[in-house]
Amino acid sequence: MRYLPLTEADRRHMLDRIGVASVDELFRDVPAAARLAGPIAGLPSHQGELEVERHIAALAARNVAAGSVPSFLGAGAYRHHVPATVDHLIQRGEFLTSYTPYQPEITQGTLQYLFEFQTQVALITGMEVANASLYDGATACAEAVMMANRVTRRSRAVLSGGVHPHYREVVDTDAHYVGFDVVIADPDPNGTEDLEALIDDRTSCVVVQNPSVFGQLKDLSALAAACHAKGALLVVVVTEVVSLGLVTPPGEMGADIVVGEGQGLGNGLTFGGPYLGLFATRDRFVRQMPGRLCGQTVDADGRRGFVLTLSTREQHIRREKATSNICTNSGLCALAFSIHLSLLGETGFTDLARLNHAKAIMLAERLAAVPGITVLNGAFFNEITIHLPRPAAAIVDVLADRGILAGVPVSRLYPDRPDLAELLLVAVTETTSDGDVAALVAGLEEVIR
Amino acid sequence: MNNTGRKTAPEATPDGHSGFATLSGNRALMVEEPLIFEQDSPGTSGVDLPEPPTAALRLGAVAPRGRIGLPGLSEPTVVRHYTRLSQKNYAIDTGLYPLGSCTMKHNPRLNEKLARLPGLADIHPLQPVKTVQGALALIDELAGWLKALTGMPAVAMSPGAGAHGEFCGMLTIRAALAARGESRPRVLVPESAHGTNPASAAACGFIVDPIPANSEGRVDVAALLARLGPDVAAIMLTNPNTCGLFERDIITIADAVHQAGAYFYCDGANFNAIVGRVRPADLGIDAMHINLHKTFSTPHGGGGPGAGPVVLSAALAPYLPLPHVVHDGAGLRLVEHRSDTGATGVELGRMKGFHGQMGMFIRALAYILSHGADGLRQVANDAVLNANYLLASLGDVMTGSFPGPCMHEALFDDRFLKDTGITTIDFAKAMIDEGYHPMTMYFPLVVHGALLFEPTETESRQSLDQLITVLRGLVARAQAGDVGFFADAPRLTPRRRLDETAAARKPVLRWVPPVAD
Amino acid sequence: MKKYTKDHEWLRVDGDVAVVGITDFAQQQLGDVVFVEVPEAGRVLEAGKEAAVVESVKAASEVFAPVSGVVIEGNAALSDDPALVNRDPEGEGWFFTVRLSAPAELDGLMDEAGYQSFVEAQH
């Protein structure tokens, strides 16, 4: 077994020093009834690299890679081009195979990139402080609601109809079992909902996504003011982080907490995970934040260095009184994000966002010209909702057979809403070619004719 | 973590450096590296993009944003920056990493290669299901292994890490109780438990009652049995426990828990010690999370991402979270909503954005296939052998907390440092200068000044012998009363002891541009 | 009159007003104090319930109200300089002042000599 360095002679020698005759004796505290005499029957034995590679490659070959065909899938996961440097650097063993930086003297590498990551997230969201990441956007959203409940000492969250339904479901799972109320607004494909009417003295927060899951982009300043007038917080969700290179960030619209899915920078689609939960807020709420925080300090020689800090919020100290039970973060995904954003820089990030937006404008114009298709969005970033003359799922299915991943039918997200079945979410990124758009337009024209 | 007066700010040590001061502040291979923000070359980018069209924007009422404040860096600058940062990190690839209860074992690179196959890395979570049959088959195959290795009938794959798995498992218990029309408020958690256990139970709305340990480092069964009653929803027990010991009475405990109408949650963080040798189902467990980043060697990545699938007994299986994979006539499908065909209809709901940590599933499956049933059993054997070898080789100079055999980790306490003026943390910092990552310290809480070593099965005998030699030497030095040596350690690291007190009193959590005069 | 609790708090009582803080022994046990959350004026305290929080780097502890009453003032200086609790725990490092609503509760607390022997018994 190539990963196990002990030889039989080593094992013999070690058993002798321990003073037992066999390794079985070391398991003597296991009740006899539960001891297995040998390897579990019916399972294969060990295999070489070649065999394992063949097996898993065969599974991979049964999938259609999004990059191998024209793909317009978004809805919370976006296929951007990740520079080769990113994946090379995150595979350095010193990053990949290190643990949580509990010994800061020998993990300054991890700590410094987390400090830089926190700064980058604060800058792009327009907020004052960010944590060192959470599992993904959806869980970050649920953590934001629970933090708002703590800050306001209230327990009713209002969720916009533009928030990704998966995010709403994760919040709802927590609400149901942790014990707080959620007011879930009706799905809002047109971006016309009025949330202000739902805010009252019991509201801890309003959660709104920008652009919404339907691609609708809005100014949230008035909503922020309405929240604050009632003592509630405004939580803004961003699922397409590249949008922050172009649009006014939530922090400048009055958000109190910004959560996001950071996958779009540095990280691939990977069938939905691991992804990267972004979490940013105002300085005054920092002690109510979930998740790890890295802070600057000095060492015994007075030199700048970094440590994990404000740990008294966390489970390993506070146990049942912690702000969250979270232990693990998405460290390596945060590193990939941070490297990608470092490579882009101010001009690269803003140019990337403009490229995405320009592609989307072109797509919207081309689709709007197809008879039978209506584009619902006036304002958007890189994703739009279109109305088709027939249920979108069947059309997507036919186009998939022709090698086009046409987008996400809203019925995939809201199967119990027949009134939304004819809606299709269509996203583009800088990876979308003009040929891809032409293929989609031609395919849709043909199928709906 | 201890709760009493551990130093968190370094004492002044005027002469701590080794060697001479350099002009640059660099020390040969150890290069001082500024923040990216301090290397800004405005207008520079490490990515070449086409010029964006100047067409009108369609942002509606939202204005395009102004300057963000991100630094401009070329690709060479970025590569050098992160390479230099990486050189300031300790890692499994660079040395033995005996952090107890973290299972820092070798991370095979085959697993990295396979996770990057475009057919797995480049698939969208919402692609039509017929275009991702291989991905669903992979999840299903890994699920099959996890069920077979634990003897449990069901597994929830979506939790993102161990603590998330605990949360999921405890929610299934709440759901099962609710279905029985009961609302039992209390969860019993041993004092030796990981902090995530009480935090997860509390996050699910339970009241946490601590259960004491006995003098043998195991849960006090009498105290536990006395606390069982109609108000108890579950017990959360780590097995092997955080003292590195197998809970001998676990079947008795499980029977009593079930008799009382409660459920048995097991923290599977230490599954590495028993994989292939003991099936948790045979111990009477109802739910157990499996840290794929521990037992199945997906990389820890500086603190994540992890993955925490939860195996479930028949009683809890219907309550697994959405989504999950089912077989139907045509192939594999995802059940994403309670109304979907194949749903149990009583699922917990969604716990994570999409279907789970696919990238970690690929790596874990590759690891499992590489070992096979025989190799996994050998993993447990060697992990336990290595820990007992440490216990046996150090027991005469350091103070083992409990008699062996231990399982995959060896627990010592600070009695061997008594009256030396040297603390566990000082001892650990001296290990750093010797080229080792320290063991877990001050945890579990049931012994004083704990030192918890988990060598894992991927350390050779030579590697353990070197560690043993170093530890014995450090003990001798400590017992000779060389307080200053330990108080000043580490001296040879990129940074010496850091002032955690200052960091917490005036938190600086991001870079801000210097204010111009 | 100075009184002490088994949770290592002290009270300096003057009429129906008490100044409350944590003892020198308590601050030594905590280590470097990095954060203190004191109750706001007007908050009604119930003896034995949480009144304040004191944190070191590695520990967070609730400070329980030693007596019932209404908070007159929290020590604002602690938010800027939590180290006052370490430097002068039974002086400048006070936590809050409270107007007693049940002065008889004081009878259940220890005097200085009683507290000294209580601390010694803890070792």
User: How far apart, in Å, are the Cα atoms of B229 and each of A15, B188, B260, B310, B445?
Assistant: 44, 11, 6, 26, 27
Q: Which residue has 């697994």 as its token pair?
A: B320
The pTM of this model reads 0.96
Counted domains in chain B: 2
Task: Please report the ipTM that was assigned to this predicted complex.
Answer: 0.97
A424 and A353 within one domain: yes
Among candidate residues B341, B366, B391, the one where a domain is terminated? B366
Among candidate residues A291, A320, A340, the one where a domain is terminated? A340
B388 and B361 within one domain: no
Q: Residue C113: its pLDDT value, please?
A: 93
* Structural domain contains residue C116: no
Please name the residue of chain A whose CA is at the shortest distance from the CA of residue C54: A312
Among candidate residues B366, B386, B416, the one where a domain is terminated? B366
B453 and B411 within one domain: yes
In this structure, the dihedral spanned by the alpha carbons of residues B248, B250, B251 and B257, taken in order and rounded to 10 degrees, is 150
Give chains near A: 3+ CB pairs under 8 A: B, C
Give chains near C: 3+ CB pairs under 8 A: A, B
C84 close contact with B: CB closer than 8 A: no
Question: Cα separation of B387 and A449, whole Å?
Answer: 70
Identify the three-state secondary structure at position A405.
Answer: strand
Q: Residues for chain C: how many in total?
A: 123
pLDDT band for position B351 (50/70/90)? very high
A328 and A220 within one domain: yes
Domain that holds residue B405: 372-493
Q: CA geometry: angle at C28 spanning C10 and C64, to 5°?
A: 40
B356 and B380 within one domain: no
Determine which of A150, A288, A312, A313 to mutate to test the interface with C (most C C-beta atoms within 10 Å).
A312
Q: Residue C39: its pLDDT value, please?
A: 94
Domain that holds residue A374: 70-80+345-448
The answer to whether the bond into B305 is cis (omega within 30° of 0) is: yes
Counted domains in chain C: 1
Q: Which residues of B touch C80 (CB under 8 A)?
A: none
B337 and B412 within one domain: no
pLDDT band for position B17 (50/70/90)? low
* Structural domain contains residue C122: no
* Structural domain contains residue B81: no
Counted domains in chain A: 2
A244 and A111 within one domain: yes
> Which ranges of chain A have pLDDT less than 70?
315-328
Contact (CB, 8 A) for A339 and A90? yes
Q: Residue A178: its pLDDT value, please?
A: 82
A389 and A305 within one domain: no
* Structural domain contains residue C121: no
Among candidate residues A323, A340, A357, the one where a domain is terminated? A340
Please name the residue of chain C whose CA is at the shortest distance from the CA of residue B506: C34
A312 close contact with C: CB closer than 8 A: yes
B340 and B391 within one domain: no
* Structural domain contains residue C73: yes
Q: Which residues of B touch A33 (CB under 8 A)?
A: 251, 282
Question: Cα separation of C92 and C111, whole Å?
Answer: 21
Question: Cα separation of A251 and B66, whole Å?
Answer: 13
Q: Which residues of A touch B81 (CB under 8 A)?
A: 342
A293 and A364 within one domain: no
Q: Residue B21: its pLDDT value, please?
A: 85
Q: Residue A353: its pLDDT value, please?
A: 98
A288 and A191 within one domain: yes
Residues B437, B443, B448, B454: is their CA dihedral positive or negative? negative
Identify which of A128, A163, A361, A125 has the alpha carbon closest to the alpha carbon of residue B65.
A125
A148 and A131 within one domain: yes
Which residues 3-22 of chain B have a CB within 8 Å of chain C?
3-9
Strands A408-409 and A383-387: unpaired
Mean pLDDT to the nearest integer, B7-33 = 77
pLDDT digits over C11-32, tens only? 999 999 999 999 999 999 888 9
Average pLDDT of chain B, as a whole number: 94
Mean pLDDT to the nearest integer, B197-221 = 91
Q: Residue B1: its pLDDT value, please?
A: 30
B467: left (phi over 0), alpha (psi -120 to 50) or beta: alpha
Mean pLDDT to the nearest integer, B97-119 = 97
A119 close contact with C: CB closer than 8 A: no
* Structural domain contains residue A52: no
Please name the residue of chain C whose CA is at the shortest distance from the CA of residue A287: C35
Instruction: Assign residue A143 the CATH number of its domain.
Output: 3.40.640.10
pLDDT band for position B507 (50/70/90)? very high
Q: Residue B194: its pLDDT value, please?
A: 84
pLDDT digits over C77-122, tens only? 999 999 999 999 999 999 999 999 999 999 999 999 999 999 988 7
Q: Which residues of A touch C59 (CB under 8 A)?
A: 312, 317
Beta carbons within 10 angstroms of residue B137's beta carbon: 17
pLDDT digits over C34-82, tens only? 999 999 999 999 999 999 999 988 788 889 999 999 999 999 999 999 9
Strands B324-328 and A181-184: unpaired
Residues B320, B325, B327, B333: is their CA dihedral positive or negative? positive
* A301 to chain C, closest Cα gap in Å: 20
B223 and B135 within one domain: yes
Question: Cα separation of C79 and C96, whole Å?
Answer: 13
Residues B195, B198, B204, B205: is their CA dihedral positive or negative? negative
Q: Residue A339: its pLDDT value, please?
A: 98
Domain that holds residue C54: 2-100
pLDDT digits over A339-376, tens only? 999 999 999 999 999 999 999 999 999 999 999 999 99
A69, amino acid identity: V
Please name the residue of chain B whose CA is at the shortest distance from the CA of residue C35: B505
* Structural domain contains residue A298: yes
Q: Which residues of A touch B112 (CB under 8 A)?
A: 91, 96
Chains A & C: contacts with CB separation below 8 Å: 16
Instruction: Assign residue C34 the CATH number of its domain.
Output: 2.40.50.100
B387 and B358 within one domain: no
Strand partners, B12: none
CB contact under 8 A, B276 and A36: yes
Question: Cα separation of B170 and B233, whole Å?
Answer: 9
A373 and A229 within one domain: no
B280 and B153 within one domain: yes
In this structure, the dihedral spanned by the alpha carbons of residues A310, A316, A318 and A322, taken in order and rounded to 10 degrees, is 80
Instruction: Assign residue B431 the CATH number of its domain.
Output: 3.90.1150.10
* Structural domain contains residue C41: yes
pLDDT digits over B455-505, tens only? 999 999 999 999 999 999 999 999 999 999 999 999 999 999 999 999 999
B166 and B192 within one domain: yes
pLDDT digits over B53-99, tens only? 887 999 999 999 999 999 999 999 999 999 999 999 999 999 999 99
B377 and B304 within one domain: no
* Structural domain contains residue B188: yes
pLDDT digits over B257-289, tens only? 999 999 999 999 999 999 999 999 999 999 999
B256 and B232 within one domain: yes
* Structural domain contains residue B17: no
Distance of CA C56 to the CA centre of its chain: 16
Q: Which residues of B touch C55 (CB under 8 A)?
A: 504
What stretches of A322-442 adopt beta strand conformation (E)?
Answer: 374-375, 383-387, 408-409, 423-427
Q: Residue B446: its pLDDT value, please?
A: 87
Q: Residue B9: its pLDDT value, please?
A: 81
Question: Cα separation of A85 and A87, whole Å?
Answer: 6
Q: Residue B2: its pLDDT value, please?
A: 35
A287 close contact with C: CB closer than 8 A: yes
DSSP B43: T
A297 close contact with C: CB closer than 8 A: no
* Structural domain contains residue C117: no
B169 and B290 within one domain: yes
Identify which of B269, B303, B277 has the alpha carbon closest to the alpha carbon of residue B409.
B269
* C121 to chain B, closest Cα gap in Å: 17
A133: left (phi over 0), alpha (psi -120 to 50) or beta: left
% of chain B exceeding 90 in pLDDT: 87
DSSP A316: H
